[in-house]
C-alpha cells in the first residue's frame, strides 16, 4: 500500500460513494477488521444492518479497494489503497469538474479570491453541460 505503487482497482477509479468512504475510513483506522467491527465503528453516524455493511465491504473487495482473508470462520478485511490516494483522486475530480483542471483557480477559490469564470455560470453553458 504505497503511493508510488500502481493501484489496481476494477475500473482503475478511486472514486467512492459517501457510504463506501465511511466504511473505508473505519477500515483505514483499524485493520485487519471484520464486518462486525466496521458496523460498530460507523454505527453512530450510520446505523446500518450487518448485511448492508457486509454487502458494501464485499463490493469494495470486488472493486479492488479491499483485501480479504478467512481466519477461523470470519473474513478479515484490509485496505488495498491508501487514504491519501483516494483523497487525491477526489480533490482532482473537484478541480477537473469545477475549476477546468486548474489547481491555481482552486487555490484562489479556497483563499476566497475568485469565483467561477463567467462563461461557466452563464445559463446557456449550464444547459449545454446537462445535455
Give residue-wise pLDDT tens across range 41-84: 999 999 999 999 999 999 999 999 999 999 999 999 999 999 99
Q: Report pLDDT for 131.
A: 55
Given a cut of 70, whether residue 35 has pLDDT beyond it is yes
The span from the CA of 79 to the CA of 23, in Å, is 11
pLDDT band at 112 (very low <50, low <70, confident <90, very high): confident
Question: Class for domain 18-81, per CATH?
Answer: mainly alpha
Cβ pair 39, 45 in contact under 8 A? no
- Domain segments of the chain as ranges: 18-81, 84-130
- Other CB atoms within 10 A of residue 27 CB: 21
Given a cut of 60, whether residue 107 has pLDDT beyond it is yes
The span from the CA of 11 to the CA of 62, in Å, is 11
Given a cut of 70, whether residue 39 has pLDDT beyond it is yes
Given a cut of 90, whether residue 122 has pLDDT beyond it is no
The span from the CA of 115 to the CA of 90, in Å, is 20
Cβ pair 33, 27 in contact under 8 A? yes
Residue that wins the pLDDT comparison between 1 and 90: 90
Task: For residue 40, give every residue at least 6 positions away whose Cβ sits within 8 Å of its Cβ, in sequence order, or none.
Answer: none
- Other CB atoms within 10 A of residue 113 CB: 9
Given a cut of 50, whether residue 1 has pLDDT beyond it is no
SS3 label, residue 66: strand
Amino acid at each position: 500500500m504505497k503511493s508510488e505503487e500502481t493501484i489496481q482497482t476494477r475500473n482503475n477509479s478511486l472514486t467512492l460513494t459517501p457510504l463506501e468512504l465511511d466504511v473505508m475510513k473505519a477500515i483505514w483506522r483499524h485493520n485487519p477488521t471484520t464486518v462486525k467491527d466496521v458496523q460498530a465503528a460507523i454505527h453512530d453516524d450510520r446505523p446500518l444492518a450487518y448485511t448492508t455493511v457486509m454487502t458494501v465491504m464485499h463490493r469494495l473487495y470486488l472493486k479492488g479497494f479491499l483485501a480479504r482473508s478467512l481466519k477461523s470462520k470470519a473474513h478479515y478485511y484490509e485496505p488495498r489503497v491508501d487514504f491519501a490516494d483516494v483523497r487525491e483522486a477526489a480533490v482532482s475530480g473537484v478541480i477537473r469538474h469545477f475549476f477546468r483542471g486548474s489547481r491555481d483557480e482552486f487555490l484562489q477559490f479556497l483563499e476566497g479570491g475568485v469565483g467561477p469564470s463567467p462563461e461557466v455560470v452563464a445559463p446557456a453553458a449550464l444547459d449545454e453541460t446537462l445535455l
